[in-house]
Structure 1
Amino acid sequence: MSSRSSQASSNPQSPWLAAWYGAARWTFWLLPVMWLFIALAGFRRLLILRYQKKDLPTPVIVVGNISVGGTGKTPLIIALVKRLQAQGYHPGVMSRGYGGEAPSYPYLLTSASTANEAGDEPLAIFQQTNAAVVVGADRIANGKMLEDQGCDILLSDDGLQHYRLGRDIEIAVVDGQRGLGNGWRLPVGPLRESAARLKKVDWVVVNSPSNNFALPAVKGETLFFIPMQIQPGELIQLNSGKKIARTDLPNQITAVAGIGNPQRFVNTLEQLGFQPHLHAFSDHHHFVVDDFKFSNELPVVMTEKDAVKCRAFARDHWFYLPVSAELPESFWSALAQKLERVIVRKQSRFPLK
């Protein structure tokens, strides 16, 4: 790997992630801070649930995680939107829009929206599904704007810890490679909430679990999960949108990833037979053309989330790899049944909707 790659691969979070998901022990010096964090977070949650929680007339599905670092929520949200659309629903997606700065909030994405305005993940969701997508910190306002757009199912991208927004279904996503790390709460470990939180959600979805993957037991109780497999699609040239066969590229490529877990992207490329030279950037990195001054002219392959930020200055040898999430049919059947019950309950509670 070139010196440029080593430089790009470093970012301010990496020492923390290495400690949380590795064998380092230095973060345990922060145990007093962790207990303070737990106390403050618990008090804040109590106040919000008692005084600020707001239920919307439209069913809300929250897709989130309890850990810091990428877990693969976006492919799941896209899969949920497409499945709901196929069933005749009109789902909308709300997101915080990390990495974007919109002219005003809540911000409804259009075909003219950019990643600088909306954030990379919301823009990728919008472009792949053509569903209504709204970004902003106020999830209640986001949800009301989606309702005004005619959406009959609301999906919250992230938000397990945003208790002000009432939710009807919760799905927690766990990284099948890194699991829950050392299992400790922030800042000693990567967890925003304890592993016991997973007992309270409707489904735990594990992204690309190994054959022997298991979630830690909580108070002696086994945590069951739904496996989600990420399937790569055909390579697409950034500046033309043309699909490119895998055999049209050499084995040696430059891999660019500005995501929470770049190694997952590397593993996918290796499964396709590539020998990727990784240039990793921080999650939601704002790419500029100087980021691509590599020491070679190998084909550049990036994630679709990163591609939405690079099309304006893309070169002919830049490509992205779209992926899709596959889940067992039993999950989709259970979700449909749960959603039907939620809709009936909502209609009885909000009869004027």
Structure 2
Amino acid sequence: MWLSAWYRGRWWTWLLVPVSWLFRGLARARKFYLQNLAPQRNKRPAPAVPIVVVGNITLGGTGKTPLLIALAQRLMAEGWRPGIISRGYGGRGGDYPLAVETSTSAAVAGDEPVLIARATGCPVVVGADRRAALKRLLADYPCDLVLSDDGLQHYQLPRDIEIVVVDGRRGLGNGHCLPAGPLREPPARLRSADWVVINGEIATPLVAAPVPMRLVPRHFCNLASGARRALNDLGDWRQVRAVAGIGHPERFFDTLRQLGLTVSEHRFADHHRYRTEDLQFPADQPLLMTSKDAVKCRELATVSDNWWYLEVAAELPERFYLAFDQQIRRHRSRLATDRTEVQRR
């Protein structure tokens, strides 16, 4: 209800604008304290490596996770050894910071960290305290660069580069901060980010030089067998059922329709923990889901061999990757110089 109201401009959200102003002021004060007065400000655990935060300023899905996966895969192809830290929303592991393996259950670590670990093969550590997660990651793994999945507002976390992802279809909603709108921080926050990535087309430009991104469907993958099905080989899928427990389910359902499918939608809350009774549908109809939902449903897939997830990839312009590579190399050189100067003292 709230997301719909914020992004569709319901009149009653204006009643909350005074509270939104208060939230905005508190957010600004919190940021100032954490960046300038907090005891642990600007302290990095050793070794000092470039830290890239990939986040957003809105509630609801923006395409942040596919972007982070694409960045990690590109960095590895260029010889970097990235490690990843994440909050681990939806996980209930209890023992944090927690190292995520490809075999780790999403119920323990959260859906997004497990998806990232399986898609990239990178070391992933989760925890609400991202500084503690960062410290463990650098202590346990030979990383020369860190990607933070979300954490833009976690100002205790040092960072060298900020990438903010915005959903092009929904933009910034009504432009108000919580609770009158979907913003965690004011729109002006975009100007201080190094990169603003727009997922899809956007009607009104938000910054001078945004980076365009699009999510491209690749194929369907069977949860039980791992078999793949090409997007041009869906002729016998007349009607399908689709579940989505993500921040912006409409994008997923629309993608399925663009592939020529007739879709019966079943929506769940973001990070929903699926149970068998949630997925009791006729066996003769394919059940489709996102890759994020698939990491939570894989253990339930024994009841059917007709469950599939859509694998997508984030595509960004080559000029972005080239500029990003130069940027992180500059930060690596700067950190190495700083480390040398400290050792000489």
TM-score normalised by the chain length of structure 2 = 0.93
Unaligned runs of 5+ residues in structure 2 are none
User: Counterparts of 1:133 and 1:256 in 2: how far apart (Å)?
Assistant: 27
User: Counterparts of 1:313 and 1:242 in 2: how far apart (Å)?
Assistant: 17
Deviation, structure 1 residue 224: 2.5
1:268 aligns with 2:255: yes
Aligned counterpart for 1:45 among listed residues 11, 20, 31: 31
| Alpha-carbon displacement from aligned partner over 1:302-348 (angstroms, at most 9, x marks no partner) | 00100011111211111011111000000001101111110011111
> Where does 1:119-134 land on structure 2 (aligned, <5 Å)?
119-134=110-125
Deviation, structure 1 residue 294: 3.4
| Alpha-carbon displacement from aligned partner over 1:169-193 (angstroms, at most 9, x marks no partner) | 0000000110110111111111111
Deviation, structure 1 residue 162: 0.7
| Alpha-carbon displacement from aligned partner over 1:70-124 (angstroms, at most 9, x marks no partner) | 1010000000000000011110110000000114111001233100011000000
User: Counterparts of 1:61 and 1:281 in 2: how far apart (Å)?
Assistant: 31
Aligned counterpart for 1:192 among listed residues 173, 184, 196: 184
| Alpha-carbon displacement from aligned partner over 1:196-224 (angstroms, at most 9, x marks no partner) | 111110110011225xx3334xxxxx532
Deviation, structure 1 residue 28: 1.2
The AA in structure 2 aligned to 1:85 is M
Decide whether the 8 Å contact of 1:55 with 1:167 is kept in 2.
Answer: no
Q: Which residue of 2 aligns with 1:20?
A: 6
Identity %: 49
Decide whether the 8 Å contact of 1:176 with 1:209 is kept in 2.
Answer: yes
What SS does structure 1 have at the residue aligned with 2:243? strand
1:284 aligns with 2:284: no
1:206 aligns with 2:214: no
User: Counterparts of 2:285 and 2:14 in 1: how far apart (Å)?
Assistant: 42
What SS does structure 2 have at the residue aligned with 1:322? strand
| Alpha-carbon displacement from aligned partner over 1:264-293 (angstroms, at most 9, x marks no partner) | 101211222212211111000000110012
Q: Which residue of 2 aligns with 1:32?
A: 18
Q: Which residue of 2 aligns with 1:7?
A: none
Decide whether the 8 Å contact of 1:63 with 1:157 is kept in 2.
Answer: yes
User: Counterparts of 2:176 and 2:260 in 1: how far apart (Å)?
Assistant: 36
Decide whether the 8 Å contact of 2:83 with 2:122 is kept in 1.
Answer: yes
Q: Which residue of 2 aligns with 1:12?
A: none
User: Counterparts of 2:61 and 2:251 in 1: how far apart (Å)?
Assistant: 10
User: Counterparts of 1:55 and 1:236 in 2: how far apart (Å)?
Assistant: 43
Decide whether the 8 Å contact of 1:54 with 1:140 is kept in 2.
Answer: no
> Where does 1:92-171 land on structure 2 (aligned, <5 Å)?
92-148=83-139, 149-171=141-163
Q: Which residue of 2 aligns with 1:81?
A: 72
Give the stretch that moved more between structures: 266-275 or 225-234. 266-275
Decide whether the 8 Å contact of 1:179 with 1:215 is kept in 2.
Answer: no
User: Counterparts of 2:100 and 2:238 in 1: how far apart (Å)?
Assistant: 37
TM-score normalised by the chain length of structure 1 = 0.91
What SS does structure 1 have at the residue aligned with 2:337? helix
Q: Which residue of 2 aligns with 1:322?
A: 311
| Alpha-carbon displacement from aligned partner over 1:16-68 (angstroms, at most 9, x marks no partner) | 11110003110111122112212221211111111232343111000000001
Decide whether the 8 Å contact of 1:105 with 1:135 is kept in 2.
Answer: yes
User: Counterparts of 1:301 and 1:266 in 2: how far apart (Å)?
Assistant: 10
1:72 aligns with 2:63: yes
Deviation, structure 1 residue 295: 6.3
What SS does structure 2 have at the residue aligned with 1:233? strand
User: Counterparts of 1:223 and 1:25 in 2: how far apart (Å)?
Assistant: 30
Aligned counterpart for 1:224 among listed residues 209, 231, 234: 209
Give the stretch that moved more between structures: 274-283 or 122-131. 274-283
User: Counterparts of 2:184 and 2:15 in 1: how far apart (Å)?
Assistant: 18
Unaligned runs of 5+ residues in structure 1 are 1-14, 217-221
Give the stretch that moved more between structures: 40-49 or 179-188. 40-49
The AA in structure 1 aligned to 2:122 is A
Decide whether the 8 Å contact of 2:54 with 2:150 is kept in 1.
Answer: yes
User: Counterparts of 1:175 and 1:119 in 2: how far apart (Å)?
Assistant: 22
The AA in structure 1 aligned to 2:249 is P
Decide whether the 8 Å contact of 2:101 with 2:114 is kept in 1.
Answer: no
What SS does structure 2 have at the residue aligned with 1:308? helix
Aligned counterpart for 2:173 among listed residues 157, 177, 181: 181
